[in-house]
Structure 1
């Protein structure tokens, strides 16, 4: 008898057993991601007039906390749809954010143009953090050699660390986050690794890296205990209090801010485009469009038929893939044969390397100390 799993697709979305072999279905064929979306929407999303009131309330709290300071909040600005819309919303709410762009060396020219348009039209100050390219390049190559799935974790990690550090140093209490249920809820665990795990990054780099990470911004103890816990820097997902319709938002930011579309989620980065469009489907059999489109189905923004039609299109324009492939090889210093050899390595779990865990799990003898610490310093709710 064959052990091969029978193919199955969700009755509502386009998530299937190829996207996630561990997907589950209820009695009528609806997948776990649909139920998880409904639950997250119920718990986190506030729509209509109630959402508007909540958003105004949050803005009031942020303004009060930022009185007397040059900025009352901080926000990452990639030039993508989510961060651009957040910038527009911040202006409508009368907030004074410091826009922070994280330059990891992979910006497309269009992203640079979009960012310039956004800050100029909204009148925001822009701080650009330029990563040390030699360190970041070495870290990306280490991740390719480690053969793990979430290569983008290092960029996300560094962005979060940079935002928290800047906020703490400038006495800013709030970070405006683009994380939202509407477009980012569906994400199989097998596709990602916790973004705040600095131990995993250091472990992978120790085994495969060659350039010392002297300046790479880590979400280390200083960030997590000092900036987050002691100074109380908080991240706020303001998109969960809006009627976030992707198509309508794109039209709005095009008209208001002169924004131009990249043709894919997070494609403002050449590396992200190549990673999502080539590395993930080729090496890991992952088409991230399935998750993104499923969220839009769950939110009533598109139909399943429209999603299936979108999936029929090539995941990567052949002409663009050729251009990007040559660019990536040159920038990372690979020959085609060397890169192909990395792509043929068997995939590894991030947990094949060291990873962040509670201190009492790493050092069991400290478990009584943790219990005492929790009694002395209970978590504030």
Structure 2
């Protein structure tokens, strides 16, 4: 095995913990070069982007005429989905149904934020609750598998439930807070494997699970990337890619207008994701997702690189409350803290150790890029 010298990008803060990273002769990584040469040249948030978004929203309004709502918005309570909900209702005049999936890990702040947005905008909320025994067993199976991406069951449930709801109720448009402004640099595939890979999810459950997945929602890449959009006409729209989206400005607006509360870090609206991203990934595997998050903000001009480097010197978790967090996660999963810690010592595995559909994802990505339908960063 070749051991590479440690290196940090001279432009962002991505480093060789991404084993596939490539640097040019100026020390700039391929994440940054992809953003500069591909993403930036195809990403319009000015008049062209807003005109395109207005056209999309006019179609949504027309097709939603006479219905109780004209689209659904997946809402987690985080900054992206919260700001999206505000934009859709207040700026574009849509009548969305706010859709939330409760996988058992909502923080109280997230619950409060969702309620404040719903009440403040006068919208309806639909919440789908995932069977806890099945969710708990599947999450423990991922722990026992030794892979980094133990958050897959939660994310998979979010995707699958929303798509199934849209299919059942013949909803043609799903609005999501996914965006280039804060997510143009993506997590390396070895850090966070594709959450929608049903083949891998089933294989890990078969090997390590004990509770049958009778109600747990399962999707597949072909179902939601091919069947739904091209045969059922269900489209996923990312409105934040068409408008100027500055994270701190959006946060301030939500706080002033709705009393929205910020989180210490992106994705911390889920208590499990907080544990996973701030403790599990960096402590067990050396993967610090703050590098990805900060790098996205750096290349989009929302963060200073020196500031990011200083923040990265601090632990990714709160040392004062770590014990409480571990106890909370263990108790929720019905195990002891000792058992939770024992998973940290298991042999390290990757998605490659289990059945997967990586080839399908790679093929799809190549097709999307060749057609100009994918301008995001590499993965």
Within a 5 Å distance, the mapping from 1:123-138 to structure 2 comes to 123-138=122-137
Match of 1:85 in 2: 83
Distance 2:260 2:196 in 1: 30
Residue number in structure 2 paired with 1:63: 61
User: Does residue 33 in structure 1 map to residue 31 in structure 2?
Assistant: yes
In 1, Cα distance between equivalents of 2:168 and 2:19? 44
1:323 and 1:278 mapped to 2: Cα distance? Answer: 13
Q: Distance in 2 between matches of 1:55 and 1:357?
A: 32
Other structure's SS at 1:190 match: coil
The Cα shift of 1:265 comes to 0.4
1:47 to 45, 48, 54: 45
Task: Sort the Cα spacing of 1:257 and 1:41 in 2 relative to 1 into closer, same or farther, 3 A.
Answer: farther
Deviations 1:196-224 (A, max 9, x none): 21111011000000000000111147656
CA contact 2:149–2:192 (8 Å) conserved in 1: yes
Q: 2 CA distance for matches of 1:226 and 1:54?
A: 25
Return the alpha-carbon distance in structure 1 between the equivalents of residues 74 and 46 of structure 2.
Answer: 26
Write the mapping of 1:183-202 to structure 2, written as runs, cut at 5 A: 183-186=182-185, 187-202=187-202
Cα distance, 1:225–1:214 mapped onto 2, change above 3 Å: farther
Question: Per-residue deviation at 1:5?
Answer: 2.2
CA shift at 1:301, angstroms? Answer: 0.8
Alignment deviations for residues 29-80 of structure 1 (CA, whole Å, 9 cap, x no partner): 1001101222443355212222221221111111122122211111110000
Structure 1 150/39 Cα, relative in aligned 2: closer, same or farther at 3 Å? farther
Q: Is the 8 A contact 1:164 1:228 kept in 2?
A: no
Which residue in the other structure is 2:246 paired with? 245
Could you report, residue by residue, the CA deviation over 1:348-368 in whole angstroms, capped at 9, with x for unpaired residues? 121211123679xxxxxxxxx
Show the counterpart of 2:271. 270
Number of the residue aligned with 1:206 = 206
How far is the alpha carbon of 1:136 from its aligned partner? 0.1
Name the count of aligned residue pairs: 359
Larger radius of gyration: 1
Which secondary structure does the structure 1 equivalent of 2:104 belong to? coil
Task: Answer yes or no: is the 8 Å Cα contact 2:326–2:337 preserved in 1.
Answer: no
State how far apart, in whole Å, the 1-side matches of 2:262 and 2:344 are. Answer: 30
Which residue in the other structure is 2:216 paired with? Answer: 216
Match of 2:364 in 1: none
For residues 354 and 96 of structure 1, do their structure 2 counterparts lie closer, same or farther at Cα, with a shift above 3 Å needed? same
- The answer on whether the counterparts of 1:9 and 1:16 sit within 8 Å (CA) in structure 2 is yes
TM-score, normalization by structure 2? 0.90
Q: Is the 8 A contact 1:135 1:212 kept in 2?
A: yes
* Structure 2 residue matching 1:101: 3-state secondary structure: strand
In the TM superposition, residue 314 of structure 1 has moved relative to its aligned partner by: 2.5
Query: Does the 8 A contact of 2:72 with 2:173 survive in 1?
Result: yes
Compare 299-308 and 48-57 and name the one that shifted more.
48-57
Label 1:116 to 1:226 Cα distance change in 2 as closer, same or farther (>3 A): same
Q: Which runs of 5+ in 1 are unaligned?
A: 360-378
Residue 365 of structure 1: aligned partner: none
Distance 1:40-1:65 versus aligned 2 partners, 3 A rule: farther
CA deviation string 1:216-246 (max 9, x = no partner): 1111476566534321111111111111111
The 3 A distance-change label for structure 1 pair 311 and 224 is closer
Change in Cα spacing, 1:145 to 1:290, as seen in structure 2 (3 Å) is: same
Q: Is the 8 A contact 1:107 1:270 kept in 2?
A: yes
Superposition CA RMSD, Å: 1.9
Identify unmatched segments of 5+ residues in structure 2: 361-370, 374-379
Aligned ranges 1:133-172 → 2 under 5 Å: 133-172=132-171
Distance in 1 (CA, whole Å) between partners of 2:181 and 2:35 is: 9
Q: CA deviation at 1:164?
A: 1.2
Counterpart-to-counterpart distance in 2, 1:357 and 1:51: 32
- Cα distance between partner residues in 2 of 1:24 and 1:151: 27
> What is the TM-score of this pair, normalised by structure 1?
0.90
Give the 3-state SS of the residue equivalent to 1:128 in structure 2: strand
